[in-house]
Amino acid sequence: MHSMKKYRILAGLCVLFGFWSVAQAESLPNLHALAAHGAVVTARVIDLNNGRTLAALHPAQMLTPASVSKLYVTAAALHQWGAAYRFTTAALYRGTIRNATLHGDLVLQGSGDPGLTNAQLWTLAQRVRAAGIKRIDGAVIVDESLFGRVRCATTDRCEALASSRAAYNAPLSAAGFDYSNACLWVRPATQAGTPATLGFEPFKIPMLGLRGTIETLPKGAANTVRVTRVTTDGRNWFYVRGGVAVDTPARCYYRAISEPALYTGQSFIGFLRQAGIAVKHLTARIVTKPMPDTRPLAQVQGQSLGEELRGMLVYSNNYMADTLALDLARTADSAPISLHQAGAWLTRYARRINTESDWPGARKSKPRLFSGSGLTADSKVSANDLIALLAAEYHNYADFPTFLSTLTVPDQTPVKMLKGGPRIWETRIAAKTGSLSRPVSVLALAGYLRLRDGHWGAFAVIVNGTRQRPEIGMFTALDAVRADLVKILRTSGN
């Protein structure tokens, strides 16, 4: 009799949880249909005011998150340094200064600033001049010892050491600037049939070379410009071909460069010369160990961390995310620092968030992160993990305003894939997207929404392809996410 009663209880629980599972799947019908046709999905939507789950589909399933990984970097950086923190890049010197001449070396000390730009490098050069320096007889040295030499850890970045047709796969350095990208401007001529004007921004430096021409085409012609950066014999050659219409605005083509510290050093020399400083040696030396016997000369601060994080998430900047991940790892380990160590640091952080979470499923989950950018396909997280992070930030009143501001609202975003759909979609969610195309497709979306009753909600959705169906169309997956979230926005929170 006792065993029969126990059986009935277990059967009842199975029916109850089976019904709950079906009900949750029905609340995400488009994602459920996608999963039925070969995709793997993890999803959860909650009301943050009371913790109630509004919808879920395999929320504990561990999948590749792509750039949604950047949410962990953002939360960790805000916790570590605060939104007002600014990285400081310094110019040091060793030797003596006599009669406005530095008889010795000028050292640019990389601080791991993920957002160091040519504007700040120019400011630093001007401040060296303002410190009384008119001539440098020694070398200009770039010190990237904060991380040491960072080896490539993703297929995309390793391939980019030899050649790149993109900006996202730039190598990493504590002394990189402009996201380790060089800009080639293409300006069409005023008359079709003549070559377009080509030039590097802000100026040409010894390590950059140009081969090929771009033809100016008749008005209205299709843009066929192709730009490939190839590294040979120690130089980064930009191979160009194709054509651009005469009525096309000038455009900058960004390409990842192969030696970020050298790129910084040669660019800094160019800025020093523009500031009126004579530089004896026009090639920079790179060091990966701290320079002894140096003294401060000038410094420049970057943007506030909050501003840098917003730029990182809005434009999904992989260089910034992985540089910040290395910065975080550097707080626990000494150089050299690898991306593997950075991923291990983020993994510990993610698991600590889970341990402290109110979600039992998250407490038992074991997310794994191998980078901050999400370029590493081996990273695995679940919707439960992301919801635990989003809930933790929502209840972190010091960091939440900045964390929320880093996310994009479809109505205002430069991310084209989020645009479109009903007004409720465009104005009542703030999200981070993620996507990969290999080894299987990834579409991820996570962030916050405002429910009908004004409550805040959080959502996390990851859609992965499989070996059997490696390619799930990005817009097919996004349409399913949009349709299901719009339904929740219209019906939940009554």
Domain assignments of the chain as residue spans, ordered by start: 26-83+308-491, 88-150+261-303, 155-256
Q: Which amino acid is at 313?
A: L
pTM, two decimals, is 0.92
- pLDDT attached to residue 305: 98
- What is 26-83+308-491's CATH number? 3.40.710.10
- pLDDT attached to residue 415: 78
Q: State pLDDT tens for residues 153-164.
A: 988 899 999 999
Q: State pLDDT tens for residues 80-137.
A: 999 999 999 999 999 999 999 999 999 999 999 999 999 999 999 999 999 999 999 9
Let me know if the fold of 26-83+308-491 is the same as that of 88-150+261-303.
Answer: no
The tokens describing 273, both together, are 């010369």
Task: Return the number of other C-beta atoms located less than 10 Å from residue 420's C-beta.
Answer: 13
Q: State pLDDT tens for residues 397-429.
A: 999 999 999 999 999 888 778 888 899 999 999
Q: Which amino acid is at 61?
A: Q
Q: For tokens 């390793």, what's the residue? A: 158
The chain-wide mean pLDDT, for the chain, equals 92
Q: State pLDDT tens for residues 247-276.
A: 999 999 999 999 999 999 999 999 999 999
The answer for residues whose C-beta is within 8 angstroms of residue 194's C-beta and 6 or more apart is 215, 216
- 75-79, 253-257, 331-335, 349-353 — which is least confidently predicted? 331-335
Give the span between the Cα atoms of 93 and 96, in whole angstroms.
8
Strands ordered across the beta sheet of 197-201: 197-201, 181-187, 251-256
If pLDDT is split at 50, 70 and 90, which confidence band does 26 have?
A: low
If pLDDT is split at 50, 70 and 90, which confidence band does 18 have?
A: very low
For 231, 282, 424, the CA distances from 386, given in Å and listed in that order, are 39, 49, 23
Task: Return the number of other C-beta atoms located less than 10 Å from residue 494's C-beta.
Answer: 6
Give the span between the Cα atoms of 314 and 161, in whole angstroms.
26
- pLDDT attached to residue 299: 98
User: What phi and psi values does residue 330 have, to the nearest 5 degrees?
Assistant: -65, -20
HEC sequence for the chain:
CHHHHHHHHHHHHHHHHHHHHHHHHHCCHHHHHHHHCCCEEEEEEEECCCCCEEEEECCCCCECCHHHHHHHHHHHHHHHHCCCCCCEEEEEEEEEEECCEEEEEEEEECCCCCCCCHHHHHHHHHHHHHCCCCEECCCEEEECCCCCCCCCCCHHHHHHCCEECCCCCCCCCCCCCHHHEEEEEEECCCCCCCECEEEEECCCCCCEEEECCCEEECCCCCCCCEEEEEEECCEEEEEEECEEECCCCCEEEEEECCCHHHHHHHHHHHHHHHCCCEECCCCCEEECCCCCCCEEEEEEECCCHHHHHHHHHHCCCHHHHHHHHHHHHHCCCCCCCCHHHHHHHHHHHHHHHHHCCCCHHHHHCCCECCCCCCCCCCCEECHHHHHHHHHHHHCCCCCHHHHHHCCECHHHCCCHHHCCCCHHHHHCEEEEEEEECCCCCEEEEEEEEECCCCCEEEEEEEEECCCCCCCCCHHHHHHHHHHHHHHHHHHCCC
Domain covering 88-150+261-303, topology? D-tyrosyl-trna(Tyr) Deacylase; Chain: A; (3.50.80)
